[in-house]
Amino acid sequence: MFSKENLFAMSLFPYLGFLWFMTKSGKTPRLALIGFYLLLLFVAITIPAGIYAKVNFNAELANVDWLHGGAESFLTLSNIVVVLGFRQAIIEAKNKNLSSNNTGEIEN
């Protein structure tokens, strides 16, 4: 069967495909797209942190609190940037809608 490490590695390919499509569509808010790319930074930090935990503490990353918390902070950062990106897009869409209503244009 598949180990969790294999599943983790294989999950990277669909995510890279997701990023490719989101980038190519040109419809994803830029800040949100940056947040989605920051998730790759989380992965890039987590892998060496897990190796460090195994080699130096003979433990899983989740069992080395300070190291796990540091790695997870990158996940938190990426989530915040994604939310702020979509929030900004919603605000801009509302403002555009309000301004088009104020100029007498017909809504779509």
State the DSSP string of 29-84.
Answer: -HHHHHHHHHHHHHHHHHHHHHHHHHHHHSS-GGG-HHHHHHHHHHHHHHHHHHHH
Name the percent of the chain lying above pLDDT 70. 94
Note the pTM of the prediction, 2 decimals: 0.83
What pLDDT score was predicted for residue 32?
Answer: 98
Residue 3 has pLDDT above 90, yes or no: no
Report the distance separating Cα 53 and Cα 2, nearest Å: 22
The dihedral region occupied by 84, where left means phi > 0, alpha psi between -120 and 50, and beta the remainder, is alpha
pLDDT (average), residues 65-79: 95
Instruction: Dig out the tokens for 25 from the structure.
Output: 């569509």
Rounded to 10 deg, the angle between the 65-102 and 30-57 helix axes is 180
Q: Give 108's Cβ-side CA count (13 Å radius).
A: 3
pLDDT in tens, 15-33: 999 999 999 999 999 999 9
Confidence label for 107 from pLDDT (cuts 50, 70 and 90)? low
DSSP label at 95? H
